[in-house]
């Protein structure tokens, strides 16, 4: 049995959770899902320009884990863009440093409290 995923610190919540290519009829729309921790890895490495060691520390994970997460996120975004697919951003096992409450895949924080977006 694989061990459970560790919580990851997410410091930025996306304003938009769904990106759709223009001109694709709704009946023909396909999509990929990018996790919140994948988006955070992209933000830290590509938008903020942090080194992987710094970014991993910021998320509370090891550098090898950050590297795998970043590679997976880049692949998901590339696949969506190249194929003209929608990109959905949704939860993962994460934590927000402000609230110190873990946020799980359904988006609700521990204790049933929804995090501020």
Per-residue pLDDT of the chain (117 residues; tens, 9 = 90+): 887 777 888 888 898 999 999 998 888 899 999 999 999 999 999 999 999 999 999 999 999 999 999 999 999 999 999 999 999 999 855 555 554 444 443 333 333 333 333
Per DSSP, the residues of the chain read -PPPPPPEE-----S-SEE--TT--GGG--EEEEEHHHHHHHIIIIIS---HHHHHHHHTS-HHHHHHHHHHHHHHHHHHHHHT-EEEEE--SEE-TTT--EE-TTSPBGGGPPPP-
* Structure confidence at residue 3 (pLDDT): 75
pTM for the structure as a whole: 0.75
């Amino acid at each position: 049995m694989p061990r459970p995923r560790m919580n990851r610190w997410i410091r930025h919540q996306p304003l938009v959770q769904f990106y759709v290519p223009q001109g694709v009829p709704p009946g023909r729309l396909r999509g990929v899902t990018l996790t919140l921790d994948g988006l955070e890895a992209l933000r830290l490495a590509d938008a903020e320009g942090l080194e992987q060691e710094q970014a991993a520390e910021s998320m509370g994970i090891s550098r090898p884990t950050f590297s795998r997460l970043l590679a997976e996120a880049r692949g998901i975004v590339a696949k969506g863009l190249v194929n003209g697919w929608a990109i959905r951003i949704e939860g993962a096992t994460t934590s927000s440093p402000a609230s110190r409450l873990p946020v799980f895949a359904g988006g609700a924080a521990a204790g049933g409290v929804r995090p501020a977006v």
